[in-house]
Copies of this chain bind each other. A is one copy, B any other.
Amino acid sequence: MRISQSEENYLKAIYKLSEKTDKPISTNQIAKEMMMAAASVTDMVKKLSEKKLIHYTKYKGAILTDTGEAKATDLIRKHRLWEVFLLEKLSFAWDEVHDLAEELEHINSDQLTNRLDAFLGYPKFDPHGDPIPDAQGNMQRRDQSILATLNNGDKGHLVGVQEHSKSFLQYLGQISLTLGAHIEIIEKYEYDQSLKIIINKDKESIISNKVSQNLFIKL
């Protein structure tokens, strides 16, 4: 069954929104995520429902079927593999890879995907630390804590980011906080929950709570 690029984007959005909840995803949620009019979403969920990619009941929202979820997982696999390619092979920066991967992910060829995977050495995580599903759709769970929840003296490595916005990633680059960097908490300021940290046992930085909420650390 042919799935259009547009339909694929809806599946991805529903998948993403479903990660935070078990409840059906509402029309408005999808519309907001995709920056589209709610009416357009209604039309599309009907189509996806006919194609058995989602379960959908009028006014109640959408849930991915197994087929739909497999399709979404495959898109995420492709997206993240391309991100690794762009970063590792073409030396793009952290914050530049997302938009290009967004286009590349729509090329549908299992052979291409699997060969790319092999070429890259079967990476398990992408440049943001997000897990890459394998050809069967299984992905490794990342063992992580949110930096903001840790305390004085705690240390570990940066294994992922929650935010993916360009500005956030650029900011991290500026304070040389890259994936894998070693982080030690020197002090947690009660007042605004900001943290004084040492990056790679070398450079001291003070980061806001908003930042530390978005960093995943492995102790």
Contacts and interface: CB of A to CB of B under 8 A. Distances in A.
Contact of A100 (B91, B92, B96, B109): B109
A73 to B, nearest CB: 21
B104 A107 contact: yes
Contact of A90 (B92, B96, B107, B115): B115
A92 B115 contact: yes
Interface in A117-171: 119
Given A90-B119, A119-B90, A107 B103 contact: yes
A170 B86 CA distance: 31
A91 B112 contact: no
A90 B96 CA distance: 23
Nearest to A89: B119
A116 interface: yes
A92 B111 CA distance: 9
A111 B103 CA distance: 14
Interface in A81-116: 86, 89-92, 96, 100, 103-104, 107, 109, 111-112, 115-116
A161 to B, nearest CB: 23
A87 to B, nearest CB: 11
A188 to B, nearest CB: 40
Interface of A: 86, 89-92, 96, 100, 103-104, 107, 109, 111-112, 115-116, 119
Given A89-B119, A100-B107, 14 more contacts: A86-B112, A90-B112, A90-B115, A90-B116, A90-B119, A91-B115, A92-B111, A92-B115, A96-B111, A100-B109, A100-B112, A103-B107, A104-B104, A104-B107
